[in-house]
Chain A
Amino acid sequence: MAIELGLNEEQTMLKKMARDFLATETPKTFVRQMMNDEVGHSPEKWKKMAELGWQGLVFPEEFGGSAMSFRDLTILCEEMGRAVLPGPFYSTVILVGLPILDFGTDAQKKKFLPKIASGEMVCTLAALEESGDLWADDIHLRALKRGNEYILRGTKLFVTDAKAADYMLVAARTSRTQNLEEGITLFMVSAKEWGIYVQNMTIMDLTRKQYEVRFTDVPVSADNIIGELNGGWPILQQIALKAGAALSAEMVGVGETAMEMTVAYLKDRQQFGVVIGTFQSLKHRAADMYIAMEYSRSLMEWAAECVKEKDPDAPTAVAMAKSYCGDAVKFVTDAGVQLHGGIGFTWDHDMHLYFKRGRYDDTAFGDSNYQKEWVARKLESNLM
């Protein structure tokens, strides 16, 4: 497939608009305010984003969206990474909005998508449990059938933005057979239901809140099953695919910003009577940061295009992008702290926000090690 990378005119405008908006509306003072906030969600900013059409960017017009592409959406994700934006955009749009769009019934789309697009609804995905990995064998939360309802019982961990969420997409086990990838079902559950307890996890990256969510006999209607009964695992894999591309885009934003901050500092900071950017050991590290980010961007754009085009290579492209971006963002933000010296190690300097967000983005939906293993298995199967 002939893939065009880079941005077209419309995408360049979208990127500029996003950067301007986030610079004005969500500067670091706002980010830090949200870091100290237990919920980490500003309904006011959320409304403003909806007015720009961000939450519904890829939804069809009939559901209140702008019918733009997945690649366009990753441009927003990249800019949000740049701004280390707190709040539930990723949870709502990437983790829940997209699977409803791809797998929901018409009635479900009508129920949820317009509200997401208009900024009236916040959602999140509750999939991970004790292991912290997205792995079929590790999904134990039970959904027992009772009439036309299911009763959920169990605990989810690392649930992003759960305190802000109106609805949670919950991965539950509805039957247990030999093949543990079967018997998983996804339910849209109102967060207001009795029996749902949301508790803070004391997390490193305060720009992306995560919670423990306990479900103690929570009823949910069978109408709220997304996709087929017992058919949840392939949907979770699709969510992981798109989240992987979106997180790669965030990592490009995070990494490039950390690099730019560092290069600016190297041009400004003086020691031994000269600007420290004249020292080769620091220049060479800066060059390596640049190289890491250029290749990250290349793989990320390729992966996003593959996802957009539903290319059969999309899973490989995303695994490669996520692995490379994960390694790159860890390297670049580590070097960012190091090259800033003492100031880079302080809470007041913004570098640690990028450092920590990069770690979240790498870890979520399989870190760079996991992705390499995936690629290795894929290479092996290609040879057979």
Chain B
Amino acid sequence: MVSGETQKAEALREEVRAFLGKNLPEKWGTPAYKAPEPGSEQAIALNKSFTKKLYDAGYTGFGVPAKYGGVERPAGERAIIRAEILRSGIPLPFVGLGRLVVDTLLQWGTEEQKKRYMPGILSGQVHWVEGFSEPNAGSDLAGVQTTAVRDGNEWIINGQKCWTSGWDYGEWGFLLCRTDVKAPRHRNLSFFLFDCATPGFSRKPLRQMTGEPHAQYGELFFDDMRVPHENMVGEEGRGWYVAMTTLIAERGGGQVGAASGEAGLMGMASMRTLGGVDGLIELARTTRRYGQSVWDDTTFRRRIAQFAIENEAQRAYGIRLGQMIRNRTASGNEASMMKVTRTEQGKRQGDLACEIIGAYSQLVRGDPKAVNEGDYVFSMLMSRGTTIYMGTSEICRNILSERILGLPRD
């Protein structure tokens, strides 16, 4: 006999499957499907329309009260939806960096800010850019030099931000500025939201070592850009603490991520390109070198198995972390652990794919003989950035050793 609960779960599963079957792009999940170039107009349009459909169906927007545009569903239903969406292979998350704004506003925003910004983010309709890093403030984020000076009910912002993802299609942005030149470190910063259409704002691409023509990252310039005071998040001089909430969300410890099961923004990108562990096995099995398939080489085979093991370890840890968050025993610093492990793993995965293809790892996108159109090599190069952005692996290890293990700051 099947219980009512089981029947309901089964019905929801069917509903999500039917929805995905109807709404995913044509040929999705088959080798014939060609994804639009990341960051291109088509990719943005596809992302917006698909996220809107998911949101309207109640399949995304979790972790936020309904009055701010969130979708409230029991954890069991969210898990079913998440599992079905993951099965379909849709890249997560849907709402990009805006999700960090949601987490930040949930903790620090005014009622008005929450109501104004969250629905557009959760439904995937407004894209956001991040203004944290500067040429002279990377790991030492508290050293930002972009200034905001008060003028009546406005702030005048001057300076430069870099390593901004989604730099070209972002419609709104958040940034950390110095608002007090005299106050001590960590207490001299404020956090602002700004409309990218504001005069005085400009942007340009930043070409990275992967060398692709469409730059994923850009630089932002602020030349007497005026922002209304109501766009400040948290109190004046408390921007550092506001930004910490953003960073924890970015590294995978946010409330929205926890509710939706999407642990952070990072890490999985390279894994997807490589087709996961199955993709690596397939690559190793179909690549013949020195008279045998690479899979028949014990060393390669066991290294691939190691990735499967690490993936399960991360999955099992995710279950534990979910419980810690529910029991309120999580500190938020756990996100640094996931960040460092996923990104370091991503690098090793990219390296392994390149080692499997041997001489062909020298051919990049554009060469007709490049394996998998150069995606393995691209992914291997791209992963180099992952251990630097959002807190380098070294900063993450500092956080873990100081805030979790209690070792002294140097």
Q: A residues engaging B (CB < 8 A)?
A: 2-6, 263, 266-267, 275, 277-280, 283-284, 286-288, 290-291, 294-299, 301-302, 317, 320, 323-324, 369, 372-373, 375-376, 379-380, 383
Contact = CB atoms under 8 A, between A and B. Distances in A.
Contacts of B208: none
B397 A376 contact: no
Contacts of A323: 305-306, 309
B313 A290 contact: no
B75 to A, nearest CB: 10
Contacts of A298: 313, 316-317, 319-320
Given A6-B323, A372-B305, A375-B308, A283 B398 contact: yes
Interface of B: 79, 277-278, 281-282, 295, 298, 301-302, 304-306, 308-310, 312-314, 316-317, 319-320, 323-324, 337, 340-341, 394, 396-398, 400-402, 404-410
B330 to A, nearest CB: 12
Given A301-B316, A375-B309, A379-B304, A291 B410 contact: no
Contacts of B305: 323, 372-373, 375-376, 379
Contacts of A278: 407-410
Given A298-B313, A375-B308, 5 more contacts: A275-B408, A284-B397, A291-B400, A295-B310, A295-B314
A296 B14 CA distance: 36
A320 B309 contact: yes
B405 A263 contact: yes
Contacts of B301: 373, 376
A54 to B, nearest CB: 26
A284 B401 contact: yes
A284 B394 contact: yes
B313 A324 contact: yes
Contacts of B309: 299, 320, 323-324, 372, 375
A286 B312 contact: no
A4 B327 CA distance: 13
Contacts of B281: 379-380, 383
B317 A295 contact: yes
A267 B406 contact: yes
A21 B309 CA distance: 34
Q: Which residue, B317, B323, B404, has most C-beta atoms of chain A within 10 A?
A: B317
A290 B316 contact: no
B395 to A, nearest CB: 11
A320 B398 CA distance: 29
A291 B320 contact: no
The B interface, classified by DSSP as helix, strand, loop or mixed, is: helix
Contacts of A376: 301-302, 304-305
B284 to A, nearest CB: 10
The 8 A-B pairs at the shortest CB distance, nearest first, are namely A298-B316, A283-B401, A287-B397, A295-B313, A376-B305, A287-B400, A298-B317, A375-B305
A380 B313 contact: no
Contacts of B304: 376, 379
Given A376-B302, A380-B281, A263 B406 contact: yes
B306 A6 contact: no
A5 B298 CA distance: 33
A2 B301 CA distance: 30
Contacts of B79: 2
7 contacts: A283-B397, A283-B405, A287-B405, A298-B316, A301-B320, A372-B305, A375-B308
B408 A267 contact: yes
A5 B310 CA distance: 17
A369 B313 contact: no
Nearest to B301: A376
B316 A286 contact: no
B240 to A, nearest CB: 22
Contact of A4 (B317, B323, B410): B323
A302 B320 CA distance: 10
Contacts of B316: 5, 295, 298-299, 301-302
A373 B408 contact: no
A15 B310 CA distance: 27
Contacts of B398: 280, 283-284, 287
Nearest to B320: A5
A291 B408 contact: no
Given A263-B407, A379-B281, A379-B308, A288 B317 contact: no
Contacts of B341: 291, 295
Contact of A286 (B337, B340, B407, B410): B407
B410 A320 contact: no
B293 to A, nearest CB: 11
Nearest to A295: B313
A283 B402 contact: yes
A271 to B, nearest CB: 13
Contacts of A283: 397-398, 401-402, 405, 407, 410
A287 B401 contact: yes
Contacts of B397: 283-284, 287-288
A290 B323 contact: no
A122 to B, nearest CB: 34
A384 to B, nearest CB: 10
Most buried by A among B309, B396, B402, B409: B309
Contacts of A291: 337, 340-341, 400
Given A283-B398, A320-B313, A323-B309, A380 B405 contact: no
A305 to B, nearest CB: 9
A7 to B, nearest CB: 10
B405 A286 contact: yes
A287 B309 CA distance: 20
